[in-house]
Structure 1
Amino acid sequence: MLKKKRLIAIALVILLGLFSFVPIPAYIETVGDAQNVGRYVTVSGSQKAYPGSFMLTYVELGQATPALYVASYFDKYATRLPSSSVTGASSAKEYKKVQHYYMDDALNQAKTVSLSLAGKPVKQNFKGIVVMSILKDSAFKDKLRVGDVITGVNGQRCVKTTDLLQCVHHTKQAVMSLRYQRNGETKTVTGRMNYLPQINKRGLGITFIQKAVVSSPVKIKINMDGIEGPSAGLMLTLEMYSQLSHENLKKGRKITGTGTILSDGAVGDIGGIDKKVVAAARKKAVIFFAPDNTLTQEERTAGDRNNYQEAKKTAQKLSTKMKIVPVKNIQDALSYLRKSSH
């Protein structure tokens, strides 16, 4: 009898461990936090900061266990997502690597835009095109890997995404040759241009971002302390610009927001904006910048909302006095901050 009870106890411990710690093919996304960007960014020669803060917002996203999945039903802001909608065809390790590349790109673009706006010398030295994902219908599936850096196409040097896109869209060749770097080695791979139903056109079937090094006599030190992804681009740019220009944009206010940033200053869409609005409201922010990009006809027909519309709806539900401000580019944010005092 004692032996039987011991076996039952062991079985229960094993089941409890499986329930609590073994991951399942799902992720839980919920409200994260809003943090002062100034704690991550230091610009050489910057003067004493003006009162107030620019704050980045982020969501908490983690792979679920059975216990976490059940517990998420008690969190009204939690969203349960299948792994495929988060990582796509990538492994969890590849997904983490991709988010790191996205953050590196966001930092480069934020540096470039803020230095340019402040009238400081800046140059982007392009090193290649980083492979971020490979569609299952791509001829380069199982040939390229996430993190490979493309440096040439059809025997010609190609280190900018615009050049690669132009080559793909205008070539009449059926087979493309890509030169790339992996673990310090340079290799070449060929593949046929296929019709890709995901994009409704012929292409390589890979997604990518530019790999670049930003150089300037003005040094900007950044330590993101484990925060990954591209969505902090807008707020990083505002913080860098405020330190570079010494312009009093904060005026004692807690200013939050989200959105990617491109080298031309355009602000791009992000995910989880409803949860970021909640995080900002909890920190008593008075302003929240939200990307306000145009929806496609199909999206409007389906009743979809863009980031700004979703953020405004969430703010109304919270009954917060925080102002939701639509932005399409960095100048929209700067113009609002200069004109407003609350």
Structure 2
Amino acid sequence: MKRQDNRILRWIAVILGIVLFLGWFLLWPLNSYIEGPGNATNLRSFVRVKGHPDPGKGSFMITSVALQQARPATYLMAKAVPYLSIENAEDVTGGQNGPTFDRVQHFYMQSSINEAIAVACQAAHQKVMKKYLGIYVLQVQPNSKFKHAIRVGDTITKVNGHHYNTAQGYQRYIGKQKVGSPLRVTYERAGRQRNTTHRLVKLTSTRSGIGIILTNNMKVKTKVPIKVDPGQLGGPSGGLMFTLQIYEQLSGHDLQRGRKIAGTGTIDADGNVGEIGGIDKKVIAAHRAGATIFLAPYVKPSKLLLKYEEGHQTNYQLARRTAKRYAPGMKVVPVTSFRQAVHYLQKH
């Protein structure tokens, strides 16, 4: 009887051990994230331009990267699937907690939408007014002397009493000051204006700075009401595609011509397209959604640039390589600007 009881206890222990192992294997969160293909969504569901319906018979598609915290099971799966990547949590979030990270991505997205509206309106010869409020603080770096005063979400409106209408204006002024010199910063938080003075830190061998990561905070007013609701999407990478969608509706020009056109890239005030992360995942997402054209940011490769690029390839190089392997039949088009993208879609 005693021997039988011991056998039962051993079986219970084995079963309990298996259950605990499976629980750990499937559910235990690791300090890393898995990036994979997300969605490619028709932008008609995001953009509303009063009195200007989309004349296109195809679609412009915004692409995304799926991001999830790794578990032991999904970590092993990601190791086995070539187009999945494992990223350190610090690299993904910049050390920010969940709510702060989400807020930063919202700031990036809103800045991108504002630039897209302004560029599209100017290209379509529609009246647009831009009011530059300042620069959003997206991250305060550990070496910044302002780290105990300025927070993520604050808007810097003046430095030493000077207001500029671009982030580059602030950066140029601050960059001319000496490392260690005091800088008086005026900023807004929750509608209240505040001031703080601290010393500048060394950013590069030739430049001084506050020690923050930033994006533009501006308001855009248009004659034609334009509403863009990105839903749960965040980040700046939808700038080019938002600009194309808004422009097509404002101008009435059918750039789609029955095609499913996906793409990615930031947009600046001059309509230049900038590189982004995860373009290989976005190409796969676009292919799964039926896209036949993918607009990819282009920069001229150089030895120094490739040293710091994702996978040591530019966005265009990585997108073209990914399409060749996972998206047969998809045309990857290199673009440096919004106007170049429009020209390609008109001529092809």
* TM-score, normalised with respect to structure 2: 0.89
8 A Cα contact 1:133 1:207, kept in partner: yes
Contact 2:120–2:243 (CA<8 Å) still a contact in 1?
A: yes
Contact 1:150–1:158 (CA<8 Å) still a contact in 2?
Answer: no
- The aligned counterpart of 1:183 is 190
Residue 316 (structure 2) aligned to one of 294, 303, 308: 308
Structure-to-structure mapping, 1:234-313, within 5 angstroms: 234-300=240-306, 304-313=312-321
- For residue 156 of structure 2, what is the aligned residue in structure 1? 150
SS of corresponding position for 1:156: coil
- 2:80 aligned with 1:80: no
Per the TM alignment, residue 64 of structure 1 is displaced from its structure 2 partner at its CA by 2.0
SS across alignment from 2:312: coil
Alignment of 1:1-342 (within 5 A): 16-47=22-53, 49-158=55-164, 160-172=166-178, 174-196=181-203, 201-300=207-306, 304-318=312-326, 320-340=328-348
- Using a 3 Å threshold, how does the CA distance of structure 1 residues 150 and 301 change in structure 2: closer, same or farther? closer
TM superposition shift of 1:298: 1.3
Once residues 200 and 157 of structure 1 are traced to their aligned partners in structure 2, the CA distance between those partners, rounded to angstroms, is 23
Q: Where does structure 1 lack aligned partners over 5 or more consecutive residues? A: none
Aligned-pair identity (%): 37
Q: Give how far 1:171 is off.
A: 2.8
Distance 1:180 1:100, change over 3 A: same
Q: Which shows bigger deviation, 293-302 or 244-253?
A: 293-302
- CA–CA separation in structure 2 for the residues paired with 1:47 and 1:232: 20
In 2, distance between residues paired with 1:139 and 1:69? Answer: 38
Q: Secondary structure at the match of 2:270?
A: coil
Q: TM-score under structure 1 normalisation?
A: 0.90
> How many Å apart are 1:7 and its aligned residue?
8.4
Is residue 35–residue 56 contact of structure 1 (8 Å, CA) maintained in 2?
yes
Structure 2: unaligned runs, 5 residues or longer: none
Show CA shifts across 1:175-213 (max 9, x none): 11111122333222222112235x763221111111111
SS of equivalent to 1:100:
helix
Aligned AA (1:336): Y
**Structure 1, 76-85 or 104-113: larger mean CA deviation:** 76-85
Moved more, 211-220 or 179-188: 179-188
Which structure 1 residue ranges, 4+ long, deviate > 4 Å from structure 2? 1-19, 300-303
How has the CA–CA distance of structure 1 residues 90 and 285 changed in structure 2, closer, same or farther, with 3 Å as cutoff? Answer: same
Bigger shift: residues 305-314 or 114-123: 305-314
Deviates more, 1:79-88 or 1:185-194: 185-194
What RMSD, in angstroms, separates the aligned Cα atoms of the two structures?
2.4
Distance 1:187 1:10, change over 3 A: farther
Instruction: Measure, in 2, the Cα distance between the counterparts of 1:74 and 1:101.
Output: 35
The Cα offsets for residues 290-340 of structure 1, whole Å up to 9 and x where unpaired, read as 000134541346893211111111112236111111100001100011111
